[in-house]
Each structure stands twice: as structure tokens, then as C-alpha cells.
Amino acid sequence: MTPNQPHATLFIQCLVDGFYPEVAEAMVKVLRRLGVRLDCPTDQTCCGQPAFNSGYRGEARKAAKRFIALFENSAAIVCPSGSCATMVRRHYPELFESDGPWLERALRVADKTYELSQYLVDVLGVTDVGARFCGRITFHDSCHPLRYLGVREQPRRLIRAVAGAELVEMVDSDRCCGFGGAFSVKYPDISTAMVEYKAQRIIEAGVDAVVGCDMGCLMNIGGYLSRMGADVKVMHLAQLLAETGEG
């Protein structure tokens, strides 16, 4: 182990943990390939975003405290979800606005929390991770990483560097897919209309795969495409970057 070897702590979105463990595994594969030393507090559960978005700030605060306690000693915290990273970076400090000691801890954690593509490009300074994937790819911008973390170019640069991949922009790539967590359950008609629009743009783009940085959106988009029987692969960025074209 070289002394300069980067060290990151895995912050796994609950949705990925329970439903898409393969996405987290892909992320581990990519990070290890780049020589990042990893650890993972296996006691972690949920960052509290669902409660926060529904207005349950007390519950969200509890989840946040738990998260902060678990992660505050990490060097860098890396998350495969732009939305959860936004929760920690943006909303944790808001939650403790009037609680000095916790605010300080929240800010410290917020400062070193990164969405995966941010970590790779902005922190590690890497764009070519040695991935290979043959096909046309379009990228869906998830709202929170795009508008709150400024994640726009990072994933695109990573995708462009994938051997064999061609990045094709869909129309309105930055338009919300209609997931919105509880929104998609409470307002299914509106949510469906939104994901239908998104799915049409994806299909129009004539791609082999749609790639994103958040499994919430991808579950929504994928669920719709799968019901349509559309022949478009839905991949998390980590999965694309983990591809080596062997098998």
C-alpha cells in the first residue's frame, strides 16, 4: 500500500443496497481498478432523504445523525446516487442550521461526500477507467446531481472515454424523469406522463443503452421501458465503467 493511495468509504444508497447490489459491486470494481482503498460501514441504512422530501424533518435528522456518526472519520465518501449525495452535501447542513455542534459535523461530512462521477473526475482526476463497451449510449441527467452538485460534464467525459462507446445526446436529457421518490407513488398519473416523455426521447435517440447516475431515476425509466418491451439497456454509470468487454 503506497502512502498516497486514495482511500474512500462506500456510501451505498438503500435502493442499491437492497435492489441493485450489482451496481455497488460494479462501483467497487471500478474504484479498485483505479487503486482506491475501500471500506464500507455495513451498519449503514438510509440517508434519510425519503423522510426529508416528505417533510418529516425530525426523522430525517435522526437518520442524518446516524449517518454522520458512521461516516465522519472517512477520508472521502463516495456514493452511486447523485440524489443521496445531494442529501448529505446540501440538506444535512440545512437540517442542523440551528444546532451548532451538529452543524459543524454535518458540514465536515458534507464536504467530503461525492457522487461517483464527481469523485472519479474531480477528485481522482481520471476520465479513462479502462472500460470497454460497444454501442451507442445516451445519458440521462438526474436532477439533483445536475442542479445541486453541478454534475454535467463528469459522467459525459467518463462515457466518452469508454472504448467502443458512442455518446449520443437525447433531446431534453436534463428534464426530470418523473421519479421523485414518494411522488411517483402518490401522483402516478403525472409521474407516468413524465417518464413516458423521457422514454420517448430515449427511444428516439436510437441507442443501445441509457446510462444514469441514480438508480431511482433508472428504476423508473427502466420500469417503463421494460413494460413497453423496449430494447434499450438501462445501466448505472458504474456498471458501464465496470464493463471490460470480456463476457
Partner 1 sequence: MAEIACERYKDMAATGIADPVLQRALINLQHRFGRGTAEAYRNLPEGPELRFQAKAIRQHAIDHLDLLLERLADKIEARGGHVFFAEDAEAAVTYCQKVADRRGVKRIVKGKSMVTEEIGLNPALMADGIEVTETDLGEYIVQLAGDHPSHIIAPAIHKTRKEIGRLFADKLGIPYTEDPPTLTRAARKALREKFMAADMGITGCNLACAQTGHITTLSNEGNIRMAATLPKTHIAVMGMERVAARLSDHAILFRLLAMGAAAQQMAGYVSYIGGPAGPDSLDGPEEFHLVILDNGRSRILADPEFREMLQCIRCAACLNVCPVYGEIGGHAYGYPYSGPVGAVVTPLLVGVNRAKDLCQGETLCGACRDACPVAIDIPRMLLALRAKLAVGDDRWNVAPAGPAERAVYRIWSRLIGNRRAYDLCLRAAGAGGRLLAGKDGMLGRLPGPLSGWTRSRNLPSPAAKSFMQRWKEMEGEGGSNHD
Q: Using the rule CB under 8 A, is 196 a contact of partner 1?
A: yes
Q: Using the rule CB under 8 A, is 244 a contact of partner 1?
A: no
Nearer to partner 1, 87 or 162 (CB): 87
Give the binding range for partner 1 (CB under 8 A) out of 97-105, 129-137, 189-197, 235-243. Answer: 189-197
Binding residues with partner 1: total (CB under 8 A): 71
> Quick one: which of 59, 122, 166, 208 contacts partner 1 (CB under 8 A)?
59
Would you list the DSSP string of the chain? --TT--EEEE---HHHHHH-HHHHHHHHHHHHHTT-EEE--TT----SHHHHHTT-HHHHHHHHHHHHHHHTT-S-EEES-HHHHHIIIIIHHHHTTT-HHHHHHHHHHHHTEEEHHHIIIIIS-----S-EEEEEEEE---HHHHHHH--SHHHHHHHHTSEEEEE-PPTTTTS--S-TTHHHHHSHHHHHHHHHHHHHHHHHTT-SEEEES-HHHHHHHHHHHHHHT---EEEEHHHHHH--S--
**Minimum distance, C-beta of residue 193 to partner 1, in the bound complex (Å):** 4
Which residues inside 81-140 make contact with partner 1, applying CB under 8 A? none
> Quick one: which of 97, 107, 128, 226 contacts partner 1 (CB under 8 A)?
226
**Minimum distance, C-beta of residue 163 to partner 1, in the bound complex (Å):** 27
Which residues inside 26-55 make contact with partner 1, applying CB under 8 A? 28, 39-46, 48, 50-55
**Minimum distance, C-beta of residue 38 to partner 1, in the bound complex (Å):** 9
